[in-house]
Structure 1
Amino acid sequence: MSASHSLAPTPEHLKKLTTEELKQRLAGAPEEAVQWIQALAEQGVAEAQVLLGQAYLDGHGLAPDPKQARIWFRKAAEAGDLMGMNMLGRAYDQGWGGLVDHACAAYWFRMAANQGLDWGMYNYANLLLHGQGVEKDEAVAFDWYQQAASLGHAKSLGVVGRFFEEGWLGTQDKEQAFEFYRRSADAGDFRGQYNYALMLEERGNPAQAAEWMRKALDGAHLAFSRTMAINLQQHPHASLRQVAREALLKCARQGDVNDMYTYARAMLAQPDMASISLGRQWLQQAAAQGHAQAQRELAVNLRLS
């Protein structure tokens, strides 16, 4: 990297910058890329303001600062940027950089939804479904989910599938549920992939179900990975019980000491010596990090050995 690449951009730099050069700058090291994003944001470029807000939220190239994230999301939202509106709604919904205010979240989600943003539709529908910041209205929520789904929004496709599977509006339709889960899974949503896998197994396709369940596990965050492990541990089909153990291992690696202990116990309950040996290793790790029950179990094993 040349010395000039590390210089903070000036208005003169920005005026001369081609689109291709800007892409190269933004694809560089986070600390450098965020300088260019900030320069553009301060010039009033709404898309950059959203990116800068996200950088502050994630600590990408600078110190995390949720308050600054909310400030920049607001600038973009008030400039008319739809994703800025959605992200400001998320800030109010999640309490990023200030108090939770579901009514304000609903206002900004609705603004983005009314102007055609699929994420705005999805987030506004979530508030309607749960009655947060707005009066609970499942039918209107379903309409917004369907609108987002018609645009190919992966998560909305999965929620529409849940409506049909559970009959939340009084009409249960397993075939419609299966189709919406399939489309959600193909679009990359891990919840859609999970539900699609379950329906595939119900239809006698365990190998395909396990394949989709692993895709779901790859994309799932820690909380959902824990849910998958719990739900699949006692599944009648062995291939999905194996995915449960893989989910437990993922949680043990990414989670806390309780996840380590849970995985250790699952492995110790297996009939083969390789799994039992692995379980002992994880039990020792949990004990070394202060898990009281793991320490007691190790102490008992030492006395019995």
Structure 2
Amino acid sequence: MTAIRLTIALILSVWVGIFAVVPVWAQDWTAIRAAAETGDAQAQYKLARAFESGKGQVQDDFEAVRWLRAAAENGHPAAALDLGWMLANGYGVAKDGEQAYFWFLKAEALGAEGAVAQRTAMAATLEPDIRQRIAQDAGIVPGSLSGVAATGAASETGIGDPVLLPEDTYEAVRDRLNAGAGLDQLAKLRLLAEDGDARARNLYGLALRRSIDAADRSLGRQWLLLAAEDGLPAAQYNLASALLEDGDPRLGGSVDVAAVFAWLDRARSGSVPADPNDYTAIAAEFAARAGIRDPYRAAVQGSRGAFPELRELIRLKRQELTARQDLTRRLVSPPAATDSGQIETTIIE
């Protein structure tokens, strides 16, 4: 039950939507519905969110699910993610964890923001063979990085002895992986990591950390540690994130606060402003594949041009850690109840 509550809490935490700049009251809903009925995915999604929120349409979760499904089947990333959320929580449709996982996989493949976290959370409630079957149903190509993350098989099973060719530089292998290459490129990345390339160690660690297999994730943290000790600021940030994640008290561990702060401080002191031309180039490079979060993806992968984003991520991670410390103190020593209208804690099943 605790795992389910954690899963649903994580899913609840990212249920957000972004409407168009035009105010809801000013939308031409007749035209939007007409476009939706002709198969326009964006119109279908906008109509679904209107029904879900009750802004622009009479609130109706059943209609929201209907239009979310239409948009998701038309390849709309956010619709696939939101449909998974509705299925996971039983809003407007019977609760169905397997179908939710299916749509979270689809959303991840389409590049939806937050899909990886949702898929990972839901995966914890399903058996490996069920996850494998659903991944196949979702059309996740075996050997792709998405497939690795979905099935928890990041150990390069079935790959022959990899060979590094002259053109297999870190940048080339990284670009292939970012473009969706499979386990053969992951194996080459491992060879680069074993040769001592700090950036390869960092990226290989990140790839392993995407797995839901505990052994893969533990090995990923070891690679991040090697890259962090090599002095790579991105790896130091990623290691701090891993320590914070693996030490979550809700998962039976305890956070080594001092270690997390220490690695964040080292990352911050080493992430100096980059050359503006370098920054522009790396942002444009990642924008072509990663959309709105391109500079942050570049940052965690160790690109110098994304150091400004890395410093922002460090600030947010320190803020998160401080909030967790405060929460822990409150749980250990809750304030005495008063007559001042103290709000009771509520657990949402």
Normalising TM by the smaller chain, what interval?
Answer: 0.3 to 0.5
User: TM-score normalised to the size of structure 1?
Assistant: 0.45
Higher RCO (CA < 8 A, seq sep 6+) = 2
Instruction: State the structure with more CA Rg.
Output: 1
